Amino acid sequence: MRVTFLGTGTSGGVPMINCDCPVCRSTNPKNKRLRSSVMIEINDRFLLIDTTPDMRQQFLRHRFPRIDAILYTHAHADHIFGLDEIRRFNYLMKKRLPAYGNAATMQRLIKVFDYAFAAPEIEFQKGIPNLSAHVIEGPTEIFGIEVLPIPLIHGEQTIFGYRIENFAYCTDVNQIPEESYDLLKNLDVLVLDALREKRHPSHFSLGEAITEARRIGARQTYFTHISHILDHNRHGQMLPKQMAFAYDGLELEL
């Protein structure tokens, strides 16, 4: 399995518009963060988690040949507003693509992108995205790959993280339900939300994320959904062993 981080930034991205802080002005490429998303390649299949507003840029940068399925964590703007770019893959692959998520996420997607879910299966050449919506609640096989949704609390909503084999991706979370810890045992790699130093009502702070990462005990934890408050090097060197900031372009072989 190969995991590529397409973006590791919070909703506004880093740099933020019109911000002159040291991280936004930093020349370190690891402080440039597009909106959070990963591509998982497994058994010659390409599973994309979320379609961010930066999706076009992310796919120009990485040149993935195809997308087989999209897993949505939730329907906040920073995780869905690249959906229109899927039409390029509909055209190239001559296929409708399946999108998966919990009921609230899929309802919201269908409301916002009604045209993408309304097209008949064969009409993929008219310049509109063509997706099928699949509500999932528990372990789901997608092309023979076992995908395990991990319920996570994100402010007022329950959203999904996803586990595939010993890799788990848990962005946009400020509390992990007790039952979900059982789904996060024996991980080689955990990806976890760590927004900033101060606490936040819908994201883990860095301190909270470190505490959670210790409890979960993955062999390696990478933090994502990072704001402009956190400097890759300055804050990164203070992290405990087996924990690090993810960065755009980071690739993991598992």
Site residues (CB under 5 A) for Zn ion?
A: 16, 19, 21, 24, 76, 78, 172, 228
And the tokens for 227?
Answer: 């704001």
Tokens 């755009």 correspond to: 248
Residue among 156, 154, 142 nearest 180 (CA)? 154
Considering beta carbons, is residue 31 or 130 the nearer one to Zn ion? 31
Give the DSSP per-residue string, 16-35: PTT--SHHHH---GGG-BPB
Minimum Å gap between C-beta 95 and Zn ion is: 28
Minimum Å gap between C-beta 194 and Zn ion is: 12
Considering beta carbons, is residue 87 or 228 the nearer one to Zn ion? 228
Considering beta carbons, is residue 24 or 133 the nearer one to Zn ion? 24
Query: What is the CA angle 141-64-248, rounded to 5?
Result: 95
Minimum Å gap between C-beta 11 and Zn ion is: 5
Considering beta carbons, is residue 16 or 244 the nearer one to Zn ion? 16
CA pair distance 181, 139, nearest whole angstrom: 15
Minimum Å gap between C-beta 86 and Zn ion is: 19
Minimum Å gap between C-beta 195 and Zn ion is: 9
Considering beta carbons, is residue 21 or 103 the nearer one to Zn ion? 21
